[in-house]
């Protein structure tokens, strides 16, 4: 196990940073009442497709690049650093669900289109009663002469409004199964939520006797845990890079802001704040690299590593954005500064797949199972 990034990984990260720094402009969001529509949600999608990002971890057999999760973490980290409003999270989630739940024919059909940038996806698993870390059962599936039909509601669906198709977890009698639904089909509606993070599109999906295609591969029970581990990595990578971004901003401000005749960074209280963020960055980044390595290597401890990465990085990001605002002082609380955008992303990343306590519960269960097997 080696956490040192290779030159290729660093080059990939740097190229993504250069591209996104040039393309993403947060200034239009620094006004009261700014919305996700103003973020230009998928304005850069065509350019992202040209870079091959939608297919970065899709296996080569299905038309993707077949790269590692470490490569993915490099890309996703820069998306988190710049708060780029692009529908990659939902597309990754939906593609992973199809990869795990679909038949070979379905994987060839859908994943090739995703890799080519011809199909944007969203994954609908949670409902009003779920924790975000489990699968909701409010959507029911019924099979009839004309195929499968779904009815019910899924909420907190990332990228639903931008998606061409939705991958939906639905209850067929007493079994959760996965279906592909055309976003434009009759009986499908999406309502955007008033989400605190205006750089990420989150909505509620309502299905009313909507036609659906069953993903009829094996292992439906294993789909969500497998996908969730990878989404943990995505959020953790975003958060770890976000910690580094708010640290850089705070350090620069501490050098530039003069008080009592010297830069505020010379004061011990500010030094303490910055030192705390450095510690958070180092640990969050190490957790992301470990999880990315474990998932790439199909290591038996990959679920443990993913849960640790998300649990720690999400809390570290919240803490770092809070300290960042404290360094900036009163101006850090204003709409005219981007600090609040990072604070809101940190808060939403910490809740989107369930609060960190759910990841810690998963960590405990994993370690108990491991201990039992060793006994």
Q: What's the rounded Cα separation, in Å, for the pair 360 and 356?
A: 6
pLDDT of residue 196: 87
pLDDT at 42: 79
Torsion angle of the four alpha carbons 129, 135, 140, 143, in this order, in degrees rounded to the nearest 10:
180
Find how far residue 337's CA is from the centre of its chain: 24
pLDDT at site 217: 82
- Which residues are registered as beta bridge partners of 140? 151, 171
- For residue 42, give the 3-state DSSP assignment: coil
Compute the Cα dihedral for 316, 321, 322, 327 and give only its sign.
Answer: positive
Q: What are phi and psi of 160, to 5 degrees?
A: -60, -45
Structure tokens given for 238: 């975003």
Q: What's the pLDDT at 133? A: 73
What is the Cα Rg of the chain in Å? 21
Give pLDDT, residue 6. 92
Kindly state the tokens that stand for 19. 């591209």
pLDDT for the residue 3: 67
Query: CA nearest 95: which of 52, 57, 68, 151?
Result: 57
The predicted pLDDT at position 373 comes to 85
Q: What is the rounded distance in angstroms from the CA atom of residue 260 to the CA atom of residue 182?
A: 62
Q: Which domains, from first to last, does the chain contain?
A: 7-115 (1.10.540.10), 121-219 (2.40.110.10), 222-374 (1.20.140.10)
Prediction pTM value: 0.96
Q: Is 166 helix (H, G, I), strand (E, B) or coil?
A: strand
Kindly give, in sequence order, each residue whose CB lies less than 8 Å from that of residue 360, ignoring residues fewer than 6 positions away. 307, 311
Looking at residue 182, its pLDDT comes to 98
DSSP 141: E
- pLDDT, tens digit, 9 for 90 and up, residues 209-231: 999 999 998 777 799 999 999 99
Residues of the chain with pLDDT under 70: 1-3
């Amino acid at each position: 196990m080696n956490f040192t990034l290779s030159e290729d990984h660093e080059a990939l990260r740097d190229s993504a940073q250069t591209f996104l720094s040039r393309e993403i402009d947060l200034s239009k969001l620094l006004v009261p009442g700014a919305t996700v529509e103003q973020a230009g949600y998928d304005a850069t999608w065509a350019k992202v497709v040209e870079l091959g990002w939608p297919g970065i971890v899709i296996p080569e057999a299905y038309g993707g690049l077949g790269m590692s999760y470490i490569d993915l973490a490099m890309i996703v980290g820069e998306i988190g650093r710049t708060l780029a409003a692009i529908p990659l999270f939902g597309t990754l989630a939906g593609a992973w669900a199809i990869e795990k739940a679909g038949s070979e024919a379905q994987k060839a059909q859908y994943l090739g289109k995703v890799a080519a940038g011809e199909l944007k996806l969203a994954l609908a698993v949670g409902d009003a009663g779920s924790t975000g870390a489990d699968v909701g059962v409010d959507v029911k599936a019924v099979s009839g002469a004309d195929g499968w039909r779904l009815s019910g509601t899924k909420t907190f669906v990332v990228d639903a409004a931008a998606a061409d198709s939705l991958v939906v977890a639905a209850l067929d009698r007493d079994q959760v199964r996965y279906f592909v639904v055309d976003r434009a089909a009759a009986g499908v509606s999406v309502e955007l939520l008033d989400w605190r993070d205006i750089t990420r599109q989150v909505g509620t999906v309502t299905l009313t006797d909507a036609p659906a295609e069953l993903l009829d591969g094996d292992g439906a029970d294993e789909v969500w845990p497998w996908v969730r581990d990878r989404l943990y990595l995505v959020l953790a990578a975003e958060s770890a890079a976000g910690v580094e971004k708010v640290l850089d901003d705070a350090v620069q401000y501490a050098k530039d802001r003069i008080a009592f005749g010297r830069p505020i960074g010379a004061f011990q209280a500010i030094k303490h704040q910055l030192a705390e963020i450095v510690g958070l960055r180092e640990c969050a980044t190490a957790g992301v690299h470990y999880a990315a390595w474990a998932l790439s290597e199909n290591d038996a401890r990959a679920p443990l590593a993913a849960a640790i990465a998300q649990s720690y990085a999400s809390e570290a990001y919240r803490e770092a954005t809070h300290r960042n605002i404290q360094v900036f002082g009163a101006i850090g609380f204003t709409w005219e500064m981007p600090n609040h955008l990072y604070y809101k992303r940190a808060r939403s990343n910490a809740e989107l797949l369930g609060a960190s306590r759910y990841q810690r519960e998963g960590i405990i269960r994993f370690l108990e199972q491991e201990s039992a097997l060793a006994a």
